[in-house]
């Protein structure tokens, strides 16, 4: 009797969230490319028409989303793609600085997602604020290393960017989860 209970509890634990069942099946390659295209188009539109909206780090939000639902290698590759696209569009730093920072962030966030439960809006928003500050720190270090000019208000801008990115990213990731993993209504019973 106890062996049946143990086998059932193991199978229920294995079922878990979609990201734990089959990690590679949750974020497909075509989905990463589609998100990259959407991110790039959104950055181009924002840079040309609404410059203040560039405080939202869309590539970072999408890299974190991919990292939460995929393996570290795929998250790092997505970080590289999103960061290089961000560097090519914004042209504010050397090509590859954001690519490196997003690669490191994606790789680390994928491992972090295995230990931290980021199910609710508040925890995702806080995590995005912290990761955005880490990303700004990596970019700052790389700019110091390459002896690039850094604005006096870099960290103030980084704090504002982290707050806005955390808020928009927390809400956006929850909405995308609702779209990708719709809730099932088990209350309906056919009579």
- Give me the residue spans of the domains in the chain: 29-180
Per-residue pLDDT at 49: 83
pTM of the model as a whole: 0.79
Which class in CATH covers the domain with range 29-180?
A: mainly alpha
**Tokens standing for residue 158:** 């980084």
Higher pLDDT, 107 or 113: 107
Distance CA(184)–CA(188), nearest Å, equals 10
Q: Which of 70, 4, 79, 76 has its CA nearest to residue 36?
A: 79
pLDDT at 15 over 60: no
**Tokens standing for residue 178:** 């609702």
pLDDT at 4 over 70: no
- Per the CB < 8 A criterion, the answer to whether 63 and 79 are in contact is yes
Phi, psi at 6, each rounded to 5°: -65, -40
Angle between helices 72-90 and 97-115 (to 10 degrees): 150
């Amino acid at each position: 009797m106890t062996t049946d209970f143990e086998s059932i509890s193991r199978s229920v634990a294995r079922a878990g969230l979609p990201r734990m069942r089959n990690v590679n099946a949750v974020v497909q390659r075509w989905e990463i490319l589609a998100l990259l295209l959407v991110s790039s188009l959104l950055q181009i539109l924002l840079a040309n028409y609404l410059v203040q909206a560039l405080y939202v780090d869309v590539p970072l939000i999408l890299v974190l989303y991919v990292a939460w639902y995929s393996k570290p290698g795929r998250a790092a590759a997505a970080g590289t793609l999103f960061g290089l696209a961000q560097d090519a569009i914004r042209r504010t730093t050397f090509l590859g600085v954001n690519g490196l920072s997003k690669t490191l962030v994606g790789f680390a966030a994928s491992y972090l997602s295995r230990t931290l439960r980021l199910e609710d809006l508040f925890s995702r928003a806080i995590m995005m604020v912290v990761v955005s500050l880490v990303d700004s720190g990596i970019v700052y270090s790389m700019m110091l290393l390459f002896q690039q000019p850094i604005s006096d208000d870099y960290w103030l801008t980084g704090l504002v960017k982290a707050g806005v990115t955390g808020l928009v990213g927390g809400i956006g990731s929850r909405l995308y989860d609702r779209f990708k993993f719709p809730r099932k209504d088990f209350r309906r019973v056919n009579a």
